[in-house]
Amino acid sequence: MGGDHAPAAIVEGAAAAAAAFGIDVILTGPSKLLRPLLSAQAPSAARDGSRPGQVRIISSEDSLAMDEGALASLRRPRSSAAIACQLVRRGQAQAVVSAGSTGGTVATARLRLRSLPGLLRPGLDVALPTAPKPTLLVDAGAIADPRPEMMVQFAQLGVAYAQVAYGLEDPRVGLLTIGAEPMKGNKLTRRAHELLAAPPHGGLPIRFTGNIEGSDLLAGQVDVVVTDGFTGNVALKTIEGAGSFATGLMRAALQGSQAARFGTLFQRRALRELAGQMDAETYGGAALLGLEGTIVIAHGDSKAKGITSACRLAADLARGRITERIRERLGPSHRAGHFLRRQ
Amino acid sequence: MGGDHAPAAIVEGAAAAAAAFGIDVILTGPSKLLRPLLSAQAPSAARDGSRPGQVRIISSEDSLAMDEGALASLRRPRSSAAIACQLVRRGQAQAVVSAGSTGGTVATARLRLRSLPGLLRPGLDVALPTAPKPTLLVDAGAIADPRPEMMVQFAQLGVAYAQVAYGLEDPRVGLLTIGAEPMKGNKLTRRAHELLAAPPHGGLPIRFTGNIEGSDLLAGQVDVVVTDGFTGNVALKTIEGAGSFATGLMRAALQGSQAARFGTLFQRRALRELAGQMDAETYGGAALLGLEGTIVIAHGDSKAKGITSACRLAADLARGRITERIRERLGPSHRAGHFLRRQ
């Protein structure tokens, strides 16, 4: 029930994910609203020839509004997001997809799902559109004032994601700061640099390649970018803003004169492909990792296509046993405690 | 002597600024290097018909290397940057322009020039390429871990800059954070929001319009964006990176097929204008404000055109009496002390 185009776009996107990728989907929300929307979906064949997934409805009468923040999760134990988390907690689902407000969804998930042993804080992982593989930014906004030890764990979350989703064996990890030298940055990043540069990392070793700057975020130099949730969220939204600014200038330039406009007649296909490359809906959304169950948070203005991508990402992460992978990377919980006491 | 293309591009750009805008320029550096470069400049007419400025050389044998940071300023009292600051301190110049490393230049300026009364820390102001007027981002990297009170003063610096450089009477000030509501953000921005929302601001009142997000940086909603130097530097470099990423995709799309390439024949002028709009060299550089004298730090890879813009910005700020304007905005120094004690 979350998102600007809920529930219609959610139902349509989820049904498409079930049909195309064989994903079993449970929709949570008022069944009298969802049932007719679901019946209206045309059946379509699975893309890979496998059996189509099932789509079921589990009714929940309440939902979080888009402008409700973290506290709403406490007041709304029967919201569609809370019910979805409970299904994961009871083992009836492996992942949650929501296009609701990030703050409300993160808080609901943290309240309803257990953290993995030894984890200090879950982190929000977002895939940046670098080629040939996306670069993961973590934390993109789950916690604004983390401790440096949490940032080492964010690296572990990102490494597990890159291994499962992109098949990378030993992903490169960079720290987002304001200069290449280890001592560049603020107090938080200088300490995080020390911890990342000096194993043990509380669990499996991390391939830390050093500091990166804002200008490197889309350069594909690293596979995982570690940052605090405040800086990560500012950087992510700055990329969005700068991208639409640049394409706006480009559109104005290409439409600005008759001659230039005439030229675009020969570029229709190229410009359509370009728009696709810059379309955030194709990346699937942000994954909240570190809990007993995966949460994928799609962009609030996602249409059906974005919801389908988010369902596919959630299924890929769950099928790749991301939770077990993270548990392994974080190490036994007493080790994590030991790691923290040593700092 | 600072910058990737020093000293040739610096001499050329400075001579062009003198000729075109009637700016008197003093070059600091080894005279046996600078003299022949200066003699080789073709004399050109002033653009507005006024008398051309004079270009003189004051010799300094030492200089800061591009990879030298803040500490170099202590070791190098006779560097070209240090000599330039001393000229300002002695009243023989009104502003310094450097394409040297930001860290080294900021540290040199802070060491050689007095702070304005009541100022806690100078801030680096950078103009973002919004239309119709640029948006000023401050602090763009002078201090990575400021106190919230410093951020209120950064707002004062930005307001003075916008008044002098863009003729705005009452510039709108926004705070860069991760949500529109006052309580959104990290500890630092929440406290800065409180201080900005509750006058007195230690001096003249600030027109604070609330929080903005990374996606709003280029939207032109505000005239001044206040942030800490860490976040500001990450955001600035992220804009640079995302801009060149988007134009790279665009270039690839337009060159990707014969038909699309044919279309660009009709767009030469539009694409040339677009490249100009996205060219950082036209914005002139970052201004370090809050000291007794203005410092303009051009991009390290500035060519002559970028140096000319930087000289013009420095002259505009000095002619608009930016220092006096800031002094007035900060209020009498005992008031600033009072303001701080009250927090």
Residues of chain B in contact with residue A68, where contact means CB-CB under 8 angstroms, are: none
Closest-CA residue of A relative to B140 is: A178
Residue B57 pLDDT level (bands cut at 50, 70, 90):
very high
Residue B247 pLDDT level (bands cut at 50, 70, 90):
confident
Nearest Cα of chain B lies from the Cα of A92 at a distance, in angstroms, of 34
pLDDT at A60: 86
pLDDT at B253: 79
How far is residue A181's CA from residue A177's CA, in Å, rounded to a whole number? 10
pLDDT tens digits along A16-73? 999 999 999 999 999 999 999 999 987 665 556 668 899 999 998 777 776 666 666 6
pLDDT higher than threshold 60 for residue B282:
no
- CB-based contact B236 A214, cutoff 8 Å: yes
- CB-based contact B230 A266, cutoff 8 Å: no
Mean pLDDT of the region B313-322:
95
pLDDT tens digits along A4-20? 999 999 999 999 999 99
- List the Cα angle B247/B220/B319 in 5-degree steps: 100
pLDDT at B98: 95
Q: Which CATH architecture has domain B128-281+329-343?
A: 3-Layer(aba) Sandwich (3.40)
pLDDT higher than threshold 70 for residue A298:
yes
Mean pLDDT of the region B236-250:
86
pLDDT at B340: 52
How far is residue B168's CA from residue B170's CA, in Å, rounded to a whole number? 6
The backbone torsions φ and ψ at residue B152, rounded to the nearest 5 degrees and listed phi first, read: -65, -40
What pTM was computed for the model? 0.89
- CB-based contact B178 A278, cutoff 8 Å: no
pLDDT at B173: 98
Nearest Cα of chain B lies from the Cα of A260 at a distance, in angstroms, of 4
pLDDT at A208: 97
Convert B315-339 into a string of H (helix), E (strand) and C (coil): HHHHHCCHHHHHHHHHCCHHHHHHH
- CB-based contact B254 A266, cutoff 8 Å: no
- CB-based contact A214 B267, cutoff 8 Å: no
Nearest Cα of chain A lies from the Cα of B251 at a distance, in angstroms, of 10
DSSP string for B91-131: TS-SEEEE-S-HHHHHHHHHHHSPBPTT-S--EEEEEE--S
Nearest to B214 among A177, A179, A235 (CB): A235
Neighbours of B230 (CB within 10 A): 27
Least confident of A138-147, A191-200, B331-340: B331-340
pLDDT higher than threshold 80 for residue A327:
yes
Nearest Cα of chain A lies from the Cα of B240 at a distance, in angstroms, of 6
Distances (CA, A) of A6 to B176, B307, B334: 30, 53, 56
Residues of chain A in contact with residue B222, where contact means CB-CB under 8 angstroms, are: none
Closest-CA residue of B relative to A235 is: B235
pLDDT tens digits along B205-228? 999 999 999 999 999 999 999 999
pLDDT at B343: 40
The backbone torsions φ and ψ at residue A212, rounded to the nearest 5 degrees and listed phi first, read: -130, 160
Q: Among A71, A137, A215, A269, pick the best mutation site for testing chain B contact (most B Cβ within 10 A).
A: A215
Mean pLDDT of the region A163-174:
96
pLDDT higher than threshold 50 for residue B99:
yes
Mean pLDDT of the region B72-76:
70
Q: Among A147, A150, A230, A277, pick the best mutation site for testing chain B contact (most B Cβ within 10 A).
A: A230
Nearest Cα of chain A lies from the Cα of B303 at a distance, in angstroms, of 20
Nearest Cα of chain B lies from the Cα of A221 at a distance, in angstroms, of 13
- CB-based contact A238 B243, cutoff 8 Å: no
pLDDT higher than threshold 90 for residue B170:
yes
Nearest to B246 among A228, A246, A257 (CB): A246
- CB-based contact A253 B266, cutoff 8 Å: no
Residues of chain A in contact with residue B267, where contact means CB-CB under 8 angstroms, are: 253-254, 259-260, 263-264
Mean pLDDT of the region B118-139:
93
pLDDT higher than threshold 80 for residue A164:
yes
Mean pLDDT of the region A69-87:
82
Nearest Cα of chain A lies from the Cα of B245 at a distance, in angstroms, of 7
pLDDT higher than threshold 90 for residue B70:
no
Q: String of b and e for B59-89 (b: at least 16 CB within 10 Å)? A: bbebbbeeebbbebbeebeebbbbbbbbbbe
Regarding predicted confidence, which is higher, A251 or A310? Answer: A310
- CB-based contact B235 A240, cutoff 8 Å: no
Mean pLDDT of the region A77-91:
92
pLDDT higher than threshold 50 for residue A335:
no
Nearest Cα of chain A lies from the Cα of B131 at a distance, in angstroms, of 11
Closest Cα to residue A45, out of A74, A72, A21? A21
pLDDT at A131: 80
Residue B281 pLDDT level (bands cut at 50, 70, 90):
low
pLDDT at B26: 97
Mean pLDDT of the region A96-112:
92
* ipTM of predicted complex: 0.88
Residues of chain A in contact with residue B277, where contact means CB-CB under 8 angstroms, are: 249
Nearest Cα of chain B lies from the Cα of A108 at a distance, in angstroms, of 18
Q: By percentage, how much of chain B surpasses pLDDT 70?
A: 89
B21-25, B63-67, B102-106: range with highest mean pLDDT: B21-25
Residue B62 pLDDT level (bands cut at 50, 70, 90):
confident
- CB-based contact B144 A250, cutoff 8 Å: no
Q: Supply the mean pLDDT for chain A.
A: 88
How far is residue B55's CA from residue B43's CA, in Å, rounded to a whole number? 11
Least confident of A162-171, A186-195, A315-324, B250-259: B250-259
Contacts 24+ apart (CB under 8 A), B336-343: B336/B117, B336/B118, B336/B119, B336/B202, B336/B203, B337/B118, B339/B149, B339/B200, B339/B201, B339/B202, B340/B120, B340/B149, B340/B202, B343/B148, B343/B149, B343/B195
Residue A343 pLDDT level (bands cut at 50, 70, 90):
very low
Residues of chain A in contact with residue B126, where contact means CB-CB under 8 angstroms, are: none
Which residues are within 8 A (CB) of A143 and not within 5 positions of it... i.e. 6 or more apart? Answer: A121, A123, A150, A228, A229
DSSP string for B196-257: HHSS--SSS--EEEEEE-GGGTTTTS-SEEE--HHHHHHHHHHHHHHHHHHHHHHHHHHHSS
Q: Among B101, B211, B237, pick the best mutation site for testing chain A contact (most A Cβ within 10 A).
A: B237
- CB-based contact A240 B214, cutoff 8 Å: yes
Q: Among A188, A212, A237, pick the best mutation site for testing chain B contact (most B Cβ within 10 A).
A: A237
Mean pLDDT of the region B260-282:
72
Radius of gyration of the CA atoms of chain B, in A: 21
* Contacts across the A-B interface (CB distance below 8 Å): 189
pLDDT at A256: 78
- CB-based contact B238 A215, cutoff 8 Å: yes
pLDDT at A246: 82
Mean pLDDT of the region A135-141:
96
- CB-based contact B253 A267, cutoff 8 Å: yes
pLDDT higher than threshold 50 for residue B53:
yes
Residue A75 pLDDT level (bands cut at 50, 70, 90):
confident
Convert chain A into a string of H (helix), E (strand) and C (coil): CCCCCCCHHHHHHHHHHHHHHCCCEEEEECHHHHHHHHHCCCCCCCCCCCCCCCEEEEECCECCCCCCCCCHHHHCCCEHHHHHHHHHHCCCCCEEEECCCHHHHHHHHHHHCCECCCCCCCEEEEEECCCCCCEEEECCCCCCCCCHHHHHHHHHHHHHHHHHHHCCCCCEEEEECCCCCCCCCCHHHHHHHHHHHCCCCCCCCCEEEEEECHHHCCCCCCCEEECCHHHHHHHHHHHHHHHHHHHHHHHHHHHCCHHHHHHHCCCHHHHHHHHHHCCHHHHCCEEEECECCEEEECCCCCCHHHHHHHHHHHHHHHHCCHHHHHHHHHCCHHHHHHHHHHC
pLDDT at A342: 43
